[in-house]
Structure 1
Amino acid sequence: MSTTSPGLLGRTVADPVGRLGLAVSAVLAVLVVTPMVGLVASTLRPTGREAWSDVLTGRLSTSLFWEPLGNSLLVGAVTAAGSVLLGGGLAWLVVMTDAPWRKTIALLATVPFALPSFALALAWETVFRNDLVGGRAGVLADLGVAVPDWIAWGPVPVAATLIAHYFSLSFLLAAAALATVNGELMEAAEMTGATRLQVARSITLPVVTPALVSGALLAFAEGVSNFASPALLGLPVRFQTLSTRLYGAITTGQVERGYVLALLLVGVAATILFASNRIVSGRRSFATIGGKGGRRAVIRLGRSRGPLTALAFALCLSTSVLPGLILLASSFARRTNSFTGGFTTHFWVGESDPSIAQGQRGVLLDPLIIDATLTTVGLGLSVAVGATLLGTAVGYVVVRLRGLAPVTGSLTLLSYLPFLIPGIALGAAFIAQFGRPIGPVPALYGTFALLVIAGIAATLPFAAQAGRSAIGQISRDVEEAAVVAGAGLARRGGRIVLPLASRGLLAGASLVFVNIVRDLSLMVLLVTPALPLLSVLTYRYASEGFAQFANAVTVLIVLLSVGATVLARRLEGPNQPWREAAS
């Protein structure tokens, strides 16, 4: 080791790309490793060690940890099962069958993931809320329909809204896998006498299983760590999950307990995602793409063509279009959650009126909302630029650095690590590390800089993946010719790499922007009243009973998110499995 390490370091420093890799590794260590180390260190102090015992074995451990853990696992399991069932079924319909309007169904199926999870939760509450917890009941109750408590509050609506949000993820993964199934293999199997069920079990299912397993476990991890839906639909009836219990602990001054819960939440999510990777990587591979090419399999649906297409449209419209329409309509309702009491534009453009909403102005005239909109857009753009530049650097080093696997391996690990950390736990880590001065660096809590740094860290996996993909499409020959002409690393990057990779990088930046604009879990602990964001204002309005304002602000977020998502899809071009299937 004594001879190997200096040699590796020397070769790394001698290579300009290696030096870039070392610099990027240092930045990632500050962004990712340091906050987690600070979080762990905070729980090892005397008060922190006491918090560990309180959370795991103390008199209140059942309500602090074990009951929220059980609720989180329940919600995660139901979310995973529902997401795979709906997403996998839609992917099969779009990619493998002759159903009409497949492009439209596919487009609608990807919209829910672009929506904030709290948009679906607010839409559910607007329709199904009853009078169990007080306040104005929902649309159905206003029409005289008795809504059971288990539909209005608790695990059922939480899981339902999370399924509606995350089934898009399973759809995308399953569609990409099904697109590789060679139709000639299926036809050959049918010619030997195999039934459609046998073909599906022996050919289609083995190919798509890794994608379904990945989608299920990713949905499980997201369901376990999601904050918005449990907070809006569970907290009013004391249905606690790990994320809501963590938020409650920190916001009520039980900071050490909150940090302990954050580490436990990280452990649960990381275990699930690690299991996903092991299960998928441990499966046998199935070669379905040969050198001779192959035709896409098309299953004739016959009489079931119409009913299945109608069912798919109903599912997609109820999870993509209908929630937006409900939120928009309810933001104009004169009475909260009532479509029979008349409509007004006050909550959008009304001046202050003491008799309405405690004198608050409409969202388009309220300086607080305008400030929050500008801050949200500015934060999204800042994080998109910062994460994209850092992700491009990571991708460039990983793709271009030859013979230095330890450097590229560490970069890959560090860039993927934030994916294992739930947003609210990452927010707690940044508070633990940067909430107090560090040498000459002042405390960053409550500053725009901390929001940008945390946003870059949280979205780094998306940006790094986009960077690797974009750089991987650029031939080494182009840069080698520039090297011969005497161009240095900086000039090659500015004059060759970035222009050629710009399309893919812009698509990645758009997705980063969407993630930040709609994010609540990460920002809910980091934002202060002096620095408002739209997502956090939405949660505060909803918690305080100002449903019209909450829904109106959510519509603004949806417009920003969907607009950026459409831009990303256009930049991706025709490289989508259902486009080829429908052609």
Structure 2
Amino acid sequence: MSTMTLRQGLRLDGVLLLKLSVLALVGVLIAAPLLRIVLDTLSPGAIIAWSEVTTGRLSRNLLWVPLGNTLILGVGVACGCVLIGGFLAWLVVMTDVPFRRTIGLLATLPFMIPSFATALAWGSLFRNSRVGGQSGFLEGLGLAIPDWLSWGMVPTLIVLIAHYYSLAFTVIAAALATVNSDLVEAAQIAGAKRGRILFGIVLPVALPAVVAGASLTFAGAVSNFAAPALLGLPVRMQTMATRLFGLIEVGQTARGYVVAILLILISALFLWAGNAVVSGRRSYATITGKGGRAKRFDLGAARMPLFLAALLICVLTTIVPVAILIASSLAPSSSALFSNWTLHYWVGLSNPSFAQGQPGIFSNPFIVSATGMTLSLGVAVAITTTIVGLLVAFVLARYGRGPLSGTINQLSFLPLLVPGIAFGAAYIALFGAPIGPMPALYGTFPLLVLAATAYLMPFAVQTGRAVIQQVSGDLDESARMTGASFPRRLLAITVPLASRGLAAGALIVFVKIMRDLSLVVLLFTPTTPLLSVLAYRYASEGFGQFANAITVVILVISIAATLLANRLQTKSQPWLKS
């Protein structure tokens, strides 16, 4: 009896040690940078930044105007994404529209395209000569493009809606798929018209998903840096993300950190409010023990017009931006996208009489180095995030009870509430100066890896939990009873059995960091060049063709990795084939 008690005590001590180790790791990667950014603004020499940003004579330009623009973007994008995503989800899930699967596939693709890619494509089409540089394709045809369509709030809204509506589509479609067809059929038998069924049954049932989609797209829009920077900064339209970038870039770090904290609070508040609404609507039960039959609305004469409308939306947000980017990377001028194509922007040598002497991207040693650096960062972050995510997921899946596990769970998903550019600022605050014997990491590759690992941890943890739950806990318990250590059990049992799922999750992380700009734009230095930041810098300096060529490279790598990840997920989860 005493021997059994001793073993149980040792087991509990081992679990406690494992939880404390994982908590310390997550705390250093996530909690410490965020805490440091708050403490830095409360220090005696920096606390004045709060009054300068919020109530000082410059507060209008530092906070209130950017805050107003940010909220307009957030609310506008949330409404637009819910309308478009909800419309497409309703068509695909609940109607007899033709080619439903094709529309569903196309509707999920825009989120794979970086927002700066869509913004660059918009500029290639609609740019006018207001801020100098090249004119866009439409102005090259002789059309007068108004300023409001070329620059500022309207194009930024359109680009962000085109980028984020996939999120709303995915969430709402999943909810609509659970609507019991018996409800719809009963309403039809009772004589209810289509509009009454849609707004009286379907919409209330799907309301939690609509709110969730609005929350996610709002948070994405207010934290987005690329689109406001490319389409808004040329006409001095500032958002909180671009203002934060500008303050940190010119050395006003205390003010920048205050803006970062406020941006985090706004994003977190809206996500919390959305979650509260969703939590309060859990009384809607749409899945019962009775079998259900799929009941689709008969669109009648509207079937083909609605299909064409959906197809137009999908084509304009997926195929057209990519085609414009490719054409612009080959055309000497954006005003003539489809004539006199040249490969100079890809492989050309330096020529003083062409493109101000800039060589093609594959002939430019700096861009070639940036390609290698970006791929190395993607691989390194995929490995580190998968390892950390697996450790966290193992603790949560196997020993998920207790306050320590709850704290680990909350901290591991905290980056979802933090905009990428604010997270980058937090890492500068923590690692920008030496910490004891550890030197300052700013401008180094390890800082990029650490920041990206922490920022993308929620995705790795979610993937890790999914694959670990597929592996029976009895296997781990049997190995523990034979005396196998935790690392031995993890490497010999869990990892081999969940290898395909883990590889798919690693590829998803690889894709996210490959096309990310918000997180890395503050961490970029000439010693750590990255493709996404170089594309932004080229676009900002008027070299649109080079920016578009670099973006096409990012797209090709990202799409290839995404397709491979989907293939691995399908093989590790056979039910996805049906």
Q: TM-score, normalised by structure 2?
A: 0.95
Give the match's secondary structure for 1:47. Answer: coil
Equivalent positions of 1:299-378 (< 5 A) are 299-339=297-337, 342-378=340-376
Q: Read off the aligned partner of 2:541 and give its amino acid letter.
A: E
Q: Read off the aligned partner of 2:567 and give its amino acid letter.
A: R
Q: What is residue 567 of structure 2 aligned with on the other side?
A: 570
Choose the corresponding residue for 1:445, options 438, 442, 447.
442
Give the match's secondary structure for 1:132. Answer: helix
Distance in 1 separating the partners of 2:11 and 2:126: 62
Choose the corresponding residue for 1:427, options 424, 430, 450.
424
Distance in 1 separating the partners of 2:199 and 2:355: 58
Residue 415 (structure 2) pairs with residue 418 (structure 1): yes
Cα RMSD of the aligned pairs, angstroms, is 2.0
Residue 127 (structure 2) pairs with residue 129 (structure 1): yes
Residue 552 (structure 2) pairs with residue 555 (structure 1): yes
Q: Give CA deviations for 1:224-262 in whole Å, capped at 9, x if unaligned.
A: 111000000000101100011111111112121111111
Deviation at 1:486, TM superposition (A): 4.2
Distance in 2 separating the partners of 1:11 and 1:554: 56
Choose the corresponding residue for 2:84, options 83, 86, 94.
86
Q: What is residue 405 of structure 1 aligned with on the other side?
A: 402
Distance in 2 separating the partners of 1:48 and 1:439: 22
After the TM superposition, which of the residue ranges 564-573 and 151-160 deviates more from structure 2? 564-573
Q: What is residue 539 of structure 2 aligned with on the other side?
A: 542
Deviation at 1:465, TM superposition (A): 1.2
Matched-pair contact (CA < 8 Å) for 1:333–1:339: yes
How many corresponding residue pairs?
A: 570
Residue 452 (structure 2) pairs with residue 459 (structure 1): no
Matched-pair contact (CA < 8 Å) for 1:327–1:555: yes
After the TM superposition, which of the residue ranges 461-470 and 188-197 deviates more from structure 2? 188-197
Q: Read off the aligned partner of 1:77 and give its amino acid letter.
A: V
Distance in 2 separating the partners of 1:206 and 1:478: 44
Q: What is residue 16 of structure 1 aligned with on the other side?
A: 14
Q: What is residue 5 of structure 2 aligned with on the other side?
A: none
Equivalent positions of 1:194-209 (< 5 A) are 194-209=192-207
Matched-pair contact (CA < 8 Å) for 1:17–1:400: no
Deviation at 1:562, TM superposition (A): 1.5
Q: Which runs of 5+ in 2 are unaligned?
A: 1-7
Q: Give CA deviations for 1:546-571 in whole Å, capped at 9, x if unaligned.
A: 11100000001111122222222223
Distance in 2 separating the partners of 1:169 and 1:575: 24
Matched-pair contact (CA < 8 Å) for 2:327–2:338: no
Matched-pair contact (CA < 8 Å) for 2:501–2:572: no
Deviation at 1:341, TM superposition (A): 5.5
Q: What is residue 178 of structure 2 aligned with on the other side?
A: 180
Deviation at 1:120, TM superposition (A): 0.5
Deviation at 1:101, TM superposition (A): 1.6
Q: What is residue 53 of structure 1 aligned with on the other side?
A: 51
Distance in 2 separating the partners of 1:192 and 1:482: 60
Identity %: 55
Q: What is residue 5 of structure 1 aligned with on the other side?
A: none
Q: TM-score, normalised by structure 1?
A: 0.94
After the TM superposition, which of the residue ranges 565-574 and 371-380 deviates more from structure 2? 565-574
Residue 466 (structure 2) pairs with residue 479 (structure 1): no
Q: Read off the aligned partner of 1:212 and give its amino acid letter.
A: V
Matched-pair contact (CA < 8 Å) for 2:444–2:527: no
Q: What is residue 282 of structure 1 aligned with on the other side?
A: 280
Distance in 1 separating the partners of 2:112 and 2:412: 22
Deviation at 1:300, TM superposition (A): 1.9
Distance in 2 separating the partners of 1:192 and 1:313: 34
Q: What is residue 224 of structure 2 aligned with on the other side?
A: 226
Distance in 1 separating the partners of 2:68 and 2:293: 47
Q: What is residue 37 of structure 1 aligned with on the other side?
A: 35
Distance in 1 separating the partners of 2:186 and 2:334: 60
Q: What is residue 501 of structure 1 aligned with on the other side?
A: 498
Matched-pair contact (CA < 8 Å) for 2:215–2:274: yes
Deviation at 1:378, TM superposition (A): 1.0
Query: Measured at CA, do residues 201 and 478 of structure 1 come closer, stay the same or move farther in structure 2, by a change above 3 Å?
Result: farther
Equivalent positions of 1:112-191 (< 5 A) are 112-191=110-189
Matched-pair contact (CA < 8 Å) for 2:126–2:137: yes
Q: Read off the aligned partner of 2:548 and give its amino acid letter.
A: N
Distance in 2 separating the partners of 1:425 and 1:337: 36
Q: Read off the aligned partner of 2:26 and give its amino acid letter.
A: L
Q: What is residue 298 of structure 1 aligned with on the other side?
A: 296
Distance in 2 separating the partners of 1:474 and 1:296: 33
Q: Give CA deviations for 1:203-231 in whole Å, capped at 9, x if unaligned.
A: 32233111110110111111111100000
Distance in 2 separating the partners of 1:60 and 1:350: 47
Distance in 2 separating the partners of 1:395 and 1:58: 46
Query: Measured at CA, do residues 440 and 386 of structure 1 come closer, stay the same or move farther in structure 2, by a change above 3 Å?
Result: same
Matched-pair contact (CA < 8 Å) for 1:35–1:433: yes
Q: What is residue 7 of structure 1 aligned with on the other side?
A: none
Q: What is residue 4 of structure 2 aligned with on the other side?
A: none
Give the match's secondary structure for 2:303. Answer: helix
Deviation at 1:46, TM superposition (A): 3.1
Query: Measured at CA, do residues 422 and 11 of structure 1 come closer, stay the same or move farther in structure 2, by a change above 3 Å?
Result: farther
Q: Read off the aligned partner of 2:408 and give its amino acid letter.
A: L
Give the match's secondary structure for 1:440. Answer: coil
Give the match's secondary structure for 1:218. Answer: helix
Deviation at 1:124, TM superposition (A): 0.5
Q: Read off the aligned partner of 1:322 and give its amino acid letter.
A: V
After the TM superposition, which of the residue ranges 449-458 and 488-497 deviates more from structure 2? 488-497
Matched-pair contact (CA < 8 Å) for 1:372–1:531: yes
Give the match's secondary structure for 2:129. Answer: coil
Choose the corresponding residue for 2:234, options 219, 233, 236.
236
Q: Read off the aligned partner of 2:254 and give its amino acid letter.
A: E
